[in-house]
Structure 1
Amino acid sequence: MKTQHEINQQQYQDKSKSYLNSTVHAKGIEFEKMQGFIQKHQLKHVLDLGCGGGHVSYQIAPFAEQVTAYDLTAEMVQLVVEQAKQKKLNNIVGQQGAAEQLEFEDDHFDGVISRYSAHHWQNIRQAMSEIFRVVKPSGKVILVDILGTQQPILDTFFQSIESIRDPSHVRNYSLTEWTNFAEYAGFQIETIEKQHLNLDFQSWVGRMQTPSFAIETIRYLQQKASDQVRNYYQIQDDGSFRSEVMYLVLSKSS
């Protein structure tokens, strides 16, 4: 029997270059926000949790003393470390591990940033508890992820196509769920912002190497979706669509 962690590792073990070269992952208005935030709060040691292709690490490294690129997939971590050397970002270090079991001491980091990773975590509450543990008192956390919704017809559609495209997908959580997770873990919510992400269908399935039969199933669901679903996700004729993204800033009281 496979665990969710094993499914995640299998899905991503040969896709590090795809995520490194992904425009969706390499660009985003949130990077400038992160850079300014790190400077403002003088976050010296930052954890890039679920680093993937390492885009957060590359963007914030010039503004921090040390960045730890951390991912469940060892191949992703190795890629980021190699890319950091090529980019002469000597303050990036790598470590492999799960979000639910962070191999760091209590109060270790000034800040934690996680971008487009949380929807893969096996146990979101445990992961949030671990983040709280490893952040210093008065430390900061930035979470960026695609949002789910509390409207069943919209949510069922979106979770379905995500899982068909990528079996390692667990869930895109709603903003209400996220605020509950944060407060349950002990965080104070500082900032909640929404932004949008336009997803090109061919790139979206291409970087996951989604098989043709799964692509056909996703396209079938898109074509049969109600007007409410099609309008909400702005589904185009070629399958491209738009999703909501959360930019959430949390703090740990001193």
Structure 2
Amino acid sequence: MSDVTGHGDHSAVVERQFGGQAAAYLSSQVHAQGEEFAQLHERVARIDAPRVLDLGCGSGHVSFQLADLAAEIVAYDLSPRMLAVVGEAAIERGFNNIRTVQGIAESLPFADDSFDVVCSRFSAHHWRDVGLALREARRVLKPGGLAAFIDVSASEQPLFDSFLQTVEMLRDTSHVRDYAPSEWAQRVGEAGLVMTSSSRQRLRLDFETWIERMRTPDVMRDAIRHLQRDVGQEVRDAFEISDDGSFTTDMLVLWATKEHV
């Protein structure tokens, strides 16, 4: 595995941002619901008793959605407090096939070719080195296995991309980058995975809930609102920004596999 020197500082920022809000993410409707779950469930159901890695599991929504299909699910995340919430919720829901493992996406403590499915949802924009994390995902995926990457998607247009990255960073200092579809395609290919399909969805975010979930300081919250009001009309239209600050952004659902050698 490659050197991950320098990840400690960023990991601390991520844990500071998310650890204390683990329960809020468990109850978040944005994270608990989504039409992509039906696609994921349908595709994973084609695999007999799969072993699944929920990469950057957060509060465990992918794990819970797939628990009835899998022989084992490993819920993997940087945050110990997130993993504690996942473990408790799994017990409460009777999912005995979910276990939690702590670590970073760029250095997975698993053997080569050990998972039938690797899925990551709303995590990649926090990875310090997305290319390295994708190579690790490929390494632990079995040949012919299913990989799914689901995340907020940046625009291919620089103006819209700049706006999104700015509001994301103001809200959450652990944010690294939302990637555009072309960036995803390039990085997935460079990691040695074969992209089989991708689709776009629109995601509506209620401003107050979005801010409260991350406990964004008032100064940052106010900066986002000022930015929303001061940008040009084409940006406001592209993100469907409402008077209360709520807005819509793109999501990318990307499917890939690891070819047999």
Q: TM-score range by the shorter chain?
A: over 0.9
Deviations for 1:104-162, whole angstroms, at most 9, x for unmatched residues? Answer: 01111011010000000000000001001000111110110000122111111110000
SS at match of 1:143: strand
1:42-191 map, 5 Å: 42=48, 44-191=50-197
SS at match of 1:213: helix
Partner of 1:27 in structure 2? 33
8 Å Cα contact 1:43/1:110 also seen in 2: no
AA partner of residue 104 (structure 1): F
8 Å Cα contact 1:43/1:64 also seen in 2: yes
Unaligned runs of 5+ in 2: 1-5
1-structure distance, mates of 2:208, 2:60: 22
Unaligned runs of 5+ in 1: none
1:175-214 map, 5 Å: 175-214=181-220
Q: Which is worse superposed, 225-234 or 38-47?
A: 38-47
Q: CA deviation at 1:15?
A: 0.7
SS at match of 1:88: coil
Partner of 2:3 in structure 1? none
Q: CA deviation at 1:43?
A: 5.7
2-structure distance, mates of 1:161, 1:222: 9
SS at match of 1:41: coil
Deviations for 1:218-253, whole angstroms, at most 9, x for unmatched residues? Answer: 000000011110011000000000010001000000
2-structure distance, mates of 1:210, 1:6: 17
1-structure distance, mates of 2:174, 2:48: 35
2-structure distance, mates of 1:8, 1:166: 9
Sequence identity (%): 40
Q: CA deviation at 1:4?
A: 1.3
2-structure distance, mates of 1:220, 1:137: 49
8 Å Cα contact 1:69/1:95 also seen in 2: yes
TM score, norm. by length of structure 2: 0.95
TM score, norm. by length of structure 1: 0.98
8 Å Cα contact 1:43/1:111 also seen in 2: no
SS at match of 1:101: coil
SS at match of 1:14: helix
Segments of 4+ moved more than 2 angstroms: none
Q: 1:47 to 1:244 in 2, by over 3 A?
A: same
2-structure distance, mates of 1:244, 1:156: 14
Deviations for 1:196-225, whole angstroms, at most 9, x for unmatched residues? Answer: 100000010000000111110000000001
